[in-house]
C-alpha cells in the first residue's frame, strides 16, 4: 500500500480494494523486490483473468521511481501477458491515464492498440482513460 499511495497520489486503491484483488480467485499478482531488501517493494502488477474466460484485464502496474527505466515494467507486463495466455485469454485489456505517455508507449511497444477513451475516468483529477487491447500472440517455438 505504501508504493500504491506514493505512485497514485490522488487515485490510489483502498486497502480493502487491494486486498480483494490480491486474494481474489481470478487474480494473478506479482511483486518485485531486490533479494537483499524484500521489505522494499520496487514494483507490482496484477491481472484479472478467469481461467477459460477468453480475456483478461491488467488491473494495475506500478514501478517505484528508483526502479524505473531498467525494464521492470516491461518484464512485469510480459509476465501478465504470459499468465493471461496460460489462462486461455485471447485478448487482454487495460486502461491507462491519458496524461501518461510513457506507459502508453510501453503498451504500444508490447502490441496493445488504443480502442477507446473513457472520459474523466480517473477521479478526482478528471483525467481520461485510454482503453487499450492486445490480441494475445501465440507462443512461438524455435530451435536453439
Please list the rounded mean pLDDT of every run of 10 residues in the chain (144 residues). Answer: 87 89 92 92 95 93 92 96 95 96 95 97 94 89 74
The pLDDT value recorded for residue 4 is 85
* Helix, coil or strand: residue 61: strand
Within a domain: residue 144?
no
**List 28, 83, 95, 122, catalytic entry:** 95
The pLDDT value recorded for residue 11 is 86
Q: What is the tally of structural domains in the chain?
A: 1
Within a domain: residue 42?
yes
**List 28, 44, 107, 122, catalytic entry:** 107
Task: Kindly compute the dihedral angle of the four CA atoms of residues 23, 26, 30, 31, in this order, to the nearest 10 degrees.
Answer: -20
Q: Which three cell numbers stand for residue 59?
A: 488491473
Within a domain: residue 33?
yes
Within a domain: residue 140?
no
- Residue 107 bears catalytic tag: yes
Within a domain: residue 114?
yes
The pLDDT value recorded for residue 106 is 95
- Burial track 59-98 (b if 16+ CB lie within 10 A, e otherwise): bbbbbbeebeeeebbeebbeebbebbbebebeebbbbbbb
Domain around 92 = 2-135
Kindly report the CATH number assigned to the domain that includes residue 50.
Answer: 3.40.630.30
The pLDDT value recorded for residue 31 is 95
Within a domain: residue 143?
no
Within a domain: residue 36?
yes
- Residue 121 bears catalytic tag: no
The pLDDT value recorded for residue 52 is 86
The pLDDT value recorded for residue 144 is 72
Within a domain: residue 141?
no
Amino acid at each position: 500500500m505504501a508504493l500504491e499511495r506514493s505512485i497514485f497520489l490522488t487515485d490510489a486503491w483502498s486497502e480493502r480494494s487491494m486486498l480483494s484483488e490480491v486474494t481474489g480467485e481470478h487474480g494473478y499478482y506479482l511483486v518485485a523486490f531486490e533479494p537483499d531488501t524484500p521489505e522494499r517493494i520496487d514494483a507490482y502488477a496484477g491481472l484479472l483473468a478467469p481461467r477459460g474466460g477468453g480475456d483478461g484485464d491488467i488491473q494495475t502496474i506500478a514501478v517505484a521511481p528508483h526502479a524505473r527505466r531498467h525494464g521492470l515494467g516491461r518484464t512485469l507486463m510480459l509476465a501478465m501477458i504470459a499468465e493471461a495466455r496460460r489462462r486461455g485469454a485471447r485478448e487482454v485489456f487495460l486502461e491507462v491515464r491519458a496524461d501518461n505517455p510513457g506507459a502508453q508507449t510501453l503498451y504500444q511497444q508490447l502490441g496493445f492498440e488504443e480502442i477507446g477513451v473513457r472520459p474523466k475516468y480517473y477521479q478526482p483529477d478528471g483525467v481520461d482513460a485510454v482503453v487499450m487491447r492486445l490480441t494475445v500472440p501465440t507462443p512461438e517455438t524455435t530451435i536453439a
